[in-house]
Amino acid sequence: MRIFLKSKIHRATVTGSDSGYMGSISIDSGLMAAVGIGEFEKVAVWNIGNGERIETYALKAKKGSGEICLNGAAAKKFSKGDLVIIAAFEVTEVPSKPKIILVDKANRLEKFL
């Protein structure tokens, strides 16, 4: 078995952070559905501006809200306005074509890549 990219939300803008929350990243559920990320699924989050990289799990935020909110300890590594890449992976022998989207500054789906 090997690990392959399954889903990616490219250049999303962090809309907030909550260090008091127990952990995770809240993502607009419409974006999650577009790329096939499930609630509580493990994701990698990469900060384009400062190079920070974390692993956490996804939580659904309101569809159409554009929310990308880092929670818990991750809130110390990401700030409102940061650009990030959110990726999910699958363990398989036969990879499928990953679902990759580019979002605009308001975190609305701009196009599939």
Task: Give tens-digit pLDDT for 17-66.
Answer: 999 887 799 999 999 999 999 999 999 999 999 999 999 999 999 999 99
Question: What phi, psi does 31 have (nearest 5°)?
Answer: -70, -40
For 50-61, the pLDDT digits (tens) are: 999 999 999 999
CATH topology of domain 2-93: Barwin-like endoglucanases (2.40.40)
The secondary structure of residue 106, as a DSSP letter, is T
pLDDT at 8 over 90: yes
Tell me which residues are annotated as active site: 24, 57
Confidence (pLDDT) at 21:
86
Confidence (pLDDT) at 56:
96
Q: If you average pLDDT over every residue of the chain, what do you get?
A: 96
pLDDT at 90 over 90: yes
Domain ranges of the chain: 2-93
CA distance 42 to 27: 13
